[in-house]
Amino acid sequence: MAYIEHDFPIEGLNKIAQKEGNAKKPIYQMHKWWARRLGSVFRMLILATFAEDDIHPTELWRRFYTRNQLTVERDGKRVPPIILDPFMGGGTTIVEALRLGCKVIGVDLNPVAWFVTKKEIEAVDLDALDAAFKHLEKTVAPKILRYYKTTCPLGHPADVMYVFWVKKVTCVGCGQDVRLFPSFRLATKGKEHTVFCPQCYHIFQVDTLSDEARCEECGHTFVPGEGYTSRGYYTCPACGQRERVLDAVRRKEGPPEAEMFAIEYFAPPASERVTTDGATNRPTTMTWPCSPRPRRSSCGEKTSCSSPGRRYPPRAAATRARSTMATSTGTRCSTSGNCCVWQCCWRRFCALRIGTWRKR
């Protein structure tokens, strides 16, 4: 009897799977695949399938974290097992089985699935790949990046990395728009949650999503983990009406309208900023003087880009962002001579009031 037939380390694997789900392995980012399965789960499935019936859990986890060469006995010899995946999709089974030394057979009717999996397991000439990326960056990136520009609250040009959207329906009780926020959380890093106030859309950090939080900007109190929609129903914040989301959608022709409500952006330090000369179309460096380290109340980490007199990026820049795809990356700014940039622009969130940005 195989180990998997009577036991499986679900609790320990769940913790690993949750981390991988938030940042998938690079090989699986080669191409988007719908319902992408997690490599850690399939690695454990394969190991548990070929593990001895009486294996100790400690030994199973040791194999999980070390290089393995699985074998089975056939005709008196130890040979690699053969694994068939007749619906291979994005190729998770194929990749993880090869990593464990198995022979694999993958089948799928979708030619995209075949092509993606084939490229995931093929040998790669890294120098040629880097050259291809640099060529694309030189020829295509400038044409695309111009649609992903905004301005930091301090006036510095910034690249839009991520755009947050929310769908909305009309309340059957009072006719007001209800934005279908399942929660008011934007991001989680470690034990710190970045949330936004549903009243004024100010962004700040909290330690827990289940306790009541008070907005530093407008004083509104709310529970960050409890949005306006749950289990297929919405609750109108204006009148308290509760209705199935599907029923609200059916009352109106077409899909629910989507609305942009926040962005994440990156602004490089002054020493790395580059712009394009309009006359020659050649890149030219730009520098901006950085003020001394700003106080937390005006431009600090906790206020996350709230600065007096200029809280929101210009509407003109906002309307150019037409996709939720992140198109720019960068390295962390040095704090030497770039204090305000580091605090205000390094992968920080900038809240927008509802209605400030409109999809064009």
Ramachandran sector of residue 101 (left: φ over 0; alpha: ψ -120 to 50; beta: rest): left
Reported as a single tens digit per residue, the pLDDT across 10-38 is 999 999 998 898 788 889 988 989 888 99
Please tell me the total count of domains within the chain: 2
Residue 347, both tokens? 């992968």
Q: In terms of DSSP bridges, do strands 221-222 and 229-230 run parallel, antiparallel, or are they unpaired?
A: unpaired
Half-sphere exposure of 347 (CA within 13 A, CB side): 12
Helices (H), the chain: 10-22, 39-50, 57-65, 92-99, 111-121, 126-139, 141-145, 245-250, 296-299, 315-318, 339-345
Distance separating alpha carbons of residues 47 and 64, to the nearest angstrom: 7
Distance separating alpha carbons of residues 206 and 272, to the nearest angstrom: 32
Residue at 316 is within a domain: yes
Residue at 216 is within a domain: no
Is the domain of 81 the same as that of 146? no
Distance separating alpha carbons of residues 128 and 31, to the nearest angstrom: 19
Residue at 358 is within a domain: no
Is the domain of 31 the same as that of 150? no
In the predicted structure, residue 284 carries a pLDDT above the cut 70:
no
Burial of 299 (0-12, 13-18, 19+ CB in 10 A): buried
CA 277 to chain centre: 33
Residue at 189 is within a domain: no
Residue at 296 is within a domain: yes
* Confidence at 272, pLDDT banded by 50, 70, 90: low
3-state helix/strand/coil string of 175-218? CCEEECCCCCEEEEECCEEEEECCCCCCEEEECCCCCCEECCCC
Supply the pLDDT for residue 333: 31
Burial of 6 (0-12, 13-18, 19+ CB in 10 A): exposed
Is the domain of 71 the same as that of 154? no
Is the domain of 243 the same as that of 286? yes
How large is the average pLDDT for residues 124-141? 93
Is the domain of 147 the same as that of 254? yes
Domain with 15 in it:
3-122
Is the domain of 16 the same as that of 111? yes
Reported as a single tens digit per residue, the pLDDT across 330-340 is 323 333 333 23
Is the domain of 100 the same as that of 151? no
Is the domain of 164 the same as that of 281? yes
Cα 1 to Cα 7, 76, 103, 149, 264: the distances in Å are 11, 19, 22, 59, 51
Is the domain of 242 the same as that of 282? yes
Least Cα distance to 150 among 288, 312, 259 occurs for 312
Is the domain of 65 the same as that of 150? no
Residue 351, both tokens? 């809240």
Is the domain of 112 the same as that of 52? yes
Residue at 99 is within a domain: yes
Reported as a single tens digit per residue, the pLDDT across 233-270 is 999 999 999 999 999 999 988 899 999 888 888 876 65
| Residue whose structure tokens are 């301005």 | 151
Percent of the chain, pLDDT > 70? Answer: 74
